[in-house]
């Protein structure tokens, strides 16, 4: 039976409902904690370990980033099976309890300044996040009406990016506290993990969709199988590639943002924070606009508009080449310059059109995947996301290593996005057809 409040009001009303609010808070706190821990560790490697050489610091920083992504390649095959086989709210509580255990160990490692243990725990945190991923998106269609799903996905997407932003900032601020920084981080990660577990206790039950599923334990064979399973529905698989391309873009821009700010824009760390904030806010705004623009239903026609906006503002960002002085400028000086305004607008709208692009794709996968294997399809999506992020890093390393500048890389990414968008629209004619229909109805 449809709840009496279903379909009434905007997407924010979902936050007040037990069938969404506790889950949203649980996933928000998880993403927040991931980034507090990860960024605090990376900054500790860069500034807190005086015995490390610059080469060792660079190696450990990249190793840490890779170790967090690696579990999504290794364990997603199992995570999707578990989410299809078992009741999801109980599974979420066990996963959050695992986070508490890992963060207790992390707190002890921060207090003892044990860097090897911290790096190993980052791998375990990635494994815990890979367990949560398939549950995160497959539980929404079980708790939300179809007309609420776009709004629910928009809230999850915007909340995730804001959690990444605030977690990154919080981790950096806490670890930088003189003398007691590691102790503050230790307290924060345990407190956040406990808060996430407590909020998970209120997540309502979501029945198993395939309780008779026999678990398969061969990582390579099962990973290939779940990716192949997703290809049985071409539009779903192509939407998964579209989502993975979004993660390629995000990794390309966000990874290069600190050096781009310093070398191309002549800005200091405050400018980096400003641009990171604008990108995250942009994704949040674009995601939340999806419900209104799509009239509370799946609207694949928004995908081409999102791709076009990302291409245009990514291209303009690549073409900004301001004069750089000998000393780095701060956030206020940067924001007061014409070039600064142009870059800020580009970054904000890049994020906004990215949010407009990604929400319909996630909703499409949820609605058009077979219910009995939806979690495994989402697990396959996580595998592809991780692969695309790895490829993004490799392309950037090769291009920048050959002597190209970061703006040249951004130019390549913008051109590649246009090419990918044209290919995707050619493979899924529904996207451009619905885009034209949406455009014509918008002007009636």
Structure token digits, residue 241: 């590639």
The pLDDT score that the predictor gives to residue 57 is 67
The pLDDT score that the predictor gives to residue 444 is 65
Residue 374's H or E segment, with its range, is helix 374-401
Q: Does the domain formed by 220-439 have CATH 3.40.50.12160?
A: no
pLDDT in tens, the chain (444 residues): 344 444 455 788 999 999 999 999 999 999 999 999 998 988 888 666 666 665 676 667 667 777 888 899 888 888 899 999 999 999 999 999 999 999 999 999 999 989 889 999 999 999 999 999 899 899 999 999 988 999 999 999 999 989 998 998 899 889 889 889 999 999 999 999 999 999 999 999 999 899 888 888 888 888 899 999 989 899 999 999 999 999 999 988 988 888 888 888 988 888 888 998 999 999 999 999 998 898 888 899 999 999 999 999 999 999 998 877 778 888 899 999 999 999 999 999 999 999 999 999 999 999 999 888 999 999 999 999 999 998 988 888 888 888 888 899 999 999 999 999 999 999 999 999 999 998 888 666
Question: Is residue 251 within 8 Å of residue 393, measured between CB atoms?
Answer: yes
Q: Where are the beta strands (DSSP E) in 300-428?
A: none
The pLDDT score that the predictor gives to residue 191 is 98
What is the chain's Cα-based Rg? 21
The pLDDT score that the predictor gives to residue 50 is 61
Gap between the Cα atoms of 329 and 266, Å rounded? 6
Residue 372 DSSP symbol:
G
Give me the numbers of helices (H) and strands (E) for the chain, helices first please: 16, 0
The phi, psi pair for 12, rounded to 5°, reads -65, -20
Question: Torsion angle of alpha carbons 8, 14, 17, 22, nearest 10°?
Answer: 170
Classified as helix, coil or strand, 370 is coil
Gap between the Cα atoms of 64 and 109, Å rounded? 15
Gap between the Cα atoms of 156 and 162, Å rounded? 10
The pLDDT score that the predictor gives to residue 120 is 92
The pLDDT score that the predictor gives to residue 247 is 93
The phi, psi pair for 379, rounded to 5°, reads -65, -40
Predicted structure pTM score: 0.88
Q: Is 165 exposed, middle or buried (0-12, 13-18, 19+ CB in 10 A)?
A: buried
The pLDDT score that the predictor gives to residue 291 is 87
* CATH code of domain 10-201: 1.20.1250.20
Nearest by Cα to 250 from 73, 435, 69, 67: 69
Q: Do domains 10-201 and 220-439 have the same CATH topology?
A: yes
Residue boundaries of the structural domains of the chain? 10-201, 220-439
Cα distances from 236 to residues 30, 179, 321, 417, in angstroms, run 27, 51, 40, 20
The pLDDT score that the predictor gives to residue 112 is 93
């Amino acid at each position: 039976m449809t709840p009496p409040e279903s379909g009434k009001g905007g997407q924010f009303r979902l936050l007040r409902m037990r069938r969404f609010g506790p889950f949203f808070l649980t996933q928000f706190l998880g993403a927040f904690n991931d980034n507090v821990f990860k960024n605090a560790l990376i900054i500790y490697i860069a500034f807190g370990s005086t015995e490390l050489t610059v080469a060792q610091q660079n190696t450990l920083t990249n190793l840490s980033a890779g170790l967090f992504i690696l579990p999504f390649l290794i364990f997603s095959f199992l995570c999707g099976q578990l989410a299809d086989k078992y009741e999801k709210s109980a599974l979420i509580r066990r996963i959050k309890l695992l986070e508490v255990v890992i963060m207790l160990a992390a707190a002890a490692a921060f207090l003892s300044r044990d860097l090897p243990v911290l790096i190993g725990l980052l791998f375990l945190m990635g494994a815990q996040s890979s367990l949560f991923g398939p549950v995160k998106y497959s539980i929404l269609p079980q708790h939300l009406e179809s007309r609420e799903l776009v709004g629910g996905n928009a809230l999850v997407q915007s909340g995730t990016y804001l959690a990444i932003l605030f977690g990154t900032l919080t981790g950096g601020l806490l670890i930088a506290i003189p003398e007691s920084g590691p102790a503050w981080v230790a307290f924060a990660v345990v407190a956040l993990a406990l808060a996430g577990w407590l909020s998970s206790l209120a997540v309502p039950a979501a029945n198993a969709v395939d309780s008779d599923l026999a678990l398969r334990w061969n990582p390579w064979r099962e990973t290939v199988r779940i990716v192949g399973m997703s290809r049985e529905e071409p539009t779903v698989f192509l939407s998964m590639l579209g989502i993975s391309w979004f993660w390629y873009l995000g990794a390309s821009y966000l990874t290069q943002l600190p050096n781009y700010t310093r070398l191309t824009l002549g800005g200091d760390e405050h400018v980096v924070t400003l641009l990171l904030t604008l990108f995250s806010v942009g994704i949040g705004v674009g995601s939340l606009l999806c419900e209104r623009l799509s009239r509370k239903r799946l609207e694949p026609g928004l995908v081409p508009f999102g791709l076009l906006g990302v291409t245009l503002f990514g291209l303009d960002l690549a073409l900004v080449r301001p004069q750089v002085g000998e000393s780095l400028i701060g956030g206020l000086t940067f924001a007061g310059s014409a070039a600064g305004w142009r870059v800020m607008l580009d970054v904000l709208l890049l994020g906004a059109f990215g949010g407009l692009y990604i929400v319909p794709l996630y909703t499409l996968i949820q609605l058009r995947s077979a219910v009995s294997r939806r979690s495994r399809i989402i697990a396959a999506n996580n595998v592809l996301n991780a692969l695309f992020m790895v490829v993004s890093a490799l392309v950037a390393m090769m291009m920048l290593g050959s002597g190209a500048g970061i703006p040249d890389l951004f130019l390549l990414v913008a051109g590649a996005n246009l090419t990918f968008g044209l290919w995707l629209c050619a493979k899924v004619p529904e996207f451009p057809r619905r885009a034209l229909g949406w455009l014509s109805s918008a002007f009636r």
